[in-house]
Structure 1
Amino acid sequence: MQVSETLQGKKFTLEEVVEFTDLIAEKLDGAIDKVDNINHKTHVLSVNASIEAARAGTFGRPFGIVAANMSELSDETIKITERMRKDTKEILEVGTLIKSQSKEYRGNRLSDLALVNIDLIDRNLYERTADVRWWATDGNVVDALMKKTKDVYELASQRLNVILQAYTVYYDLVLADVDGNIVVNGNKEKYSSVNSNVASTKWFTSAIRTKSGSEFGFQSVNRSPLVNNDLAIVYSAAVREHGDTKGKIIGVLGVIFKWESLSQTIINHTPIDEDEKKHTRICIVDNDGLILADSEGKMLKETLQFDKKTSLFGEKKNYMFTEYAGTQCCIGHALSPGFENYSTGWHSVILQKLINHGKKSKS
């Protein structure tokens, strides 16, 4: 009664089913051993009874009949226990098959979920590359860098602020001259980035090196001082004379994207039930394993390392079973698939601990 009440309504994993199968087989083996032991004693008694009946002659005949029946019962018991052992072996074979299939199912499921996560990120970030290239040709933006007066700077700031109100995925939009000095930003009420120099940043230098307006610059996940050290990604595009895609570069527009809002929303909505989440870690990492997004909140604080990571990261999508942080895990992985010729090149990883409930002791 206690067992049924405990198990009622409980969801079992395939691994737990295998565990229970092994336990049942173990208990059956124990019961069969006991039956064999009793049967052996019965057989010995029947043999002894037959000997004594033979010695007693006519008077021992009834006793001999009982001994013969005991012997037949013993033989039949042997046949039954042999069949039971065969059945137990089949149960174990089924358990082994389930165990193999459950590992394959778990691995494929986690790698599928990992692929969905990184695909969503690629698709969303592709839009950011389109945004910055478009806005870099805006008339107010171009005028600010060509005319360089207080009035045109103010108009450019107002224009960037209008864009920010429509595109709430950005912290701020900043405009720098060719020397890397920020002359305009859109969210000046919250961020005072004007007069900051960004000449050494990756987003600025990569944009300055572009050959045409169809290219863009980029800086990976970082804590940007331009937005009070919040986690951000910066996409950038060169601003060119007269907005001409082949014109002379006169500055750089940077769009500072709210990385944590996107990444943590995707990670937190990964379709894994609450029980699984207790022993599952969901991450986005770069090629070195640096954690860029994390269900444990350790962005930029930790590098993911595990045995044969390089091999797994070399594949587009796969899984492996290995030890991580002292615990056996299933690790599902998917490489950024890209979208419309854009790819982050990042890796989506889901690590799930293999919980060992342990076999119950024999009663």
Structure 2
Amino acid sequence: MHGNVLELAMDISRITGEKIAGLEQIMLKTKMLSINARLEAARAGEIGQSFSVVAREMGTVADEVNAMSAELNRAMNDNAARIEQAGREMMLGMRGSRLADIARNTVEIIDRNLYERSCDVRWWATDSAVVDAVESPAIEAARHASSRLATILRSYTVYLDLWIADATGRIVATGRPERYPGLTGRDVSREDWFREGIQTADGDAFTVCDVAQNPALGGADVAAYATAIRVGGEPNGRALGVLGIFFDWRPQAQAIVTGVSLSDEERAASRVMLLDARHKVIASSDGRTGDTFALKAEAAWGHYAEGRKLVAYGLTPGYETYQGLGWYGCIETSAAL
């Protein structure tokens, strides 16, 4: 619709310019007729004097009309340029707002996904097999817990692995020992997910860490969630250890940033990203991650033009009990589309 308005304004300007040019041609002919009439009046001598006065007046009127036409033409050109600029700004603003909505929706989708991860970790930490592994530590209890974690992983394919650590930070059971061997007995007491997980206030609390590579999981990018495993699996029970779950970040996030609703032209000229709170690129439609994007966010949602680029962004609003980590959805595209 806005494109049609701009085209209409430009058509009006073009048609008006054509009419002014036509009027100038008529006045030029009138001017020439006036000159010819004055020449003929001069040849007629005294008899043509009165006609000469009329001819001079015709020339004066033609000059005045030409001057008015030139002024009108200047005004129309100036207004047409202003209308065209205003139209382009309006179209850019509408497009920027639409892309900002898409950017915010992108980060909302991932946060809804990660909210489910926070539910998973709190639920599984109360599983009797998980609790027994740290409440009544024994080889058989650890084997049973590992079997239980493996069963969960067969159904929840978005995870790379699930780990149970005791109160000292020693891993006692994992869900995929065949894929990631040698983890049992590993000391994770200094890792953020464990340190924050053991300090959670109750069974309703959890911790989540920013996306980072985990060397123990083949260097894969993971989002780690954790909560304390408590006596009897009770919400207010004493913390006996920590359950850590490791979300396979890259394929899940990549599917989201490449699946946004853009036209083929927009998609070819755009980079859709997820940024962490420090504006580090943690997912990108072009596959490039790890760089820091110079986002100039002045609000929770918006867009701005920078050179030949249009940047649209949206800050995570969180979802349910998941407050988010200050991440942004962001789209950088060509301003000329």
User: How does the TM-score come out when normalised to structure 2?
Assistant: 0.84
Question: Does the CA contact (< 8 Å) of 2:270 and 2:332 recur in 1?
Answer: yes
Q: Does 1:186 align with 2:137?
A: no
2:279 is aligned to 289
| Counterpart residue identity of residue 249, structure 2 | W
1:54 to 34, 37, 41: 41
- Residues 57-68 of structure 1 mapped to structure 2, 5 A cutoff: 57=44
- Residues 345-356 of structure 1 mapped to structure 2, 5 A cutoff: 345-355=326-336
- Residues 219-298 of structure 1 mapped to structure 2, 5 A cutoff: 219-298=209-288
Residue 194 of structure 1: CA displacement? 2.5
Q: Structure 1 vs Structure 2: percent identity of aligned residues?
A: 30
Distance 1:208 1:279 in 2: 46
Q: Does 1:318 align with 2:284?
A: no
- Residues 106-117 of structure 1 mapped to structure 2, 5 A cutoff: 106-117=95-106
2:319 to 324, 334, 339: 339
In 2 relative to 1, CA 13–53 (structure 1 residues): closer, same or farther, beyond 3 Å? same
Gaps of 5+ in 1: 1-11, 357-363
In 2 relative to 1, CA 150–255 (structure 1 residues): closer, same or farther, beyond 3 Å? same
Residue 147 of structure 1: CA displacement? 2.7
2:145 is aligned to 156
1:123 to 101, 107, 112: 112
Distance 2:37 2:247 in 1: 94
Gaps of 5+ in 2: none
Residue 205 of structure 1: CA displacement? 0.7
Bigger drift between 104-113 and 93-102 goes to: 93-102
What is the CA deviation profile of residues 202-242 of structure 1, one whole-angstrom value per residue up to 9, with x for unaligned ones? 11110011121111122210111232111110101111222
In 2 relative to 1, CA 172–259 (structure 1 residues): closer, same or farther, beyond 3 Å? same
* Alignment size in residue pairs: 332
| Counterpart residue identity of residue 168, structure 1 | T
| Counterpart residue identity of residue 57, structure 1 | A
Distance 1:208 1:255 in 2: 14
Distance 1:40 1:198 in 2: 92
Question: Does the CA contact (< 8 Å) of 1:114 and 1:334 recur in 2?
Answer: yes
Bigger drift between 240-249 and 73-82 goes to: 73-82
Question: Does the CA contact (< 8 Å) of 1:106 and 1:330 recur in 2?
Answer: no
Residue 30 of structure 1: CA displacement? 9.2
SS at match of 1:266: helix
Q: Does 1:139 align with 2:128?
A: yes
What is the CA deviation profile of residues 88-118 of structure 1, one whole-angstrom value per residue up to 9, with x for unaligned ones? 5664454234223212201211111111111
Residue 133 of structure 1: CA displacement? 0.9
| Counterpart residue identity of residue 303, structure 2 | Y
Distance 2:284 2:320 in 1: 26
| Counterpart residue identity of residue 342, structure 1 | Y
Question: Does the CA contact (< 8 Å) of 2:17 and 2:76 recur in 1?
Answer: no
1:99 is aligned to 88
SS at match of 1:188: coil
Q: Does 1:167 align with 2:147?
A: no
Distance 2:308 2:36 in 1: 58
Residue 290 of structure 1: CA displacement? 1.0
In 2 relative to 1, CA 212–85 (structure 1 residues): closer, same or farther, beyond 3 Å? same
What is the CA deviation profile of residues 322-354 of structure 1, one whole-angstrom value per residue up to 9, with x for unaligned ones? x2xxx4322222111111131212111112221
Question: Does the CA contact (< 8 Å) of 2:121 and 2:225 recur in 1?
Answer: yes
Distance 2:314 2:127 in 1: 37
Bigger drift between 83-92 and 110-119 goes to: 83-92
2:166 is aligned to 177
Question: Does the CA contact (< 8 Å) of 2:224 and 2:244 recur in 1?
Answer: yes
Residue 200 of structure 1: CA displacement? 1.4
Residue 135 of structure 1: CA displacement? 0.6
In 2 relative to 1, CA 230–85 (structure 1 residues): closer, same or farther, beyond 3 Å? same
SS at match of 2:209: strand
In 2 relative to 1, CA 332–54 (structure 1 residues): closer, same or farther, beyond 3 Å? same
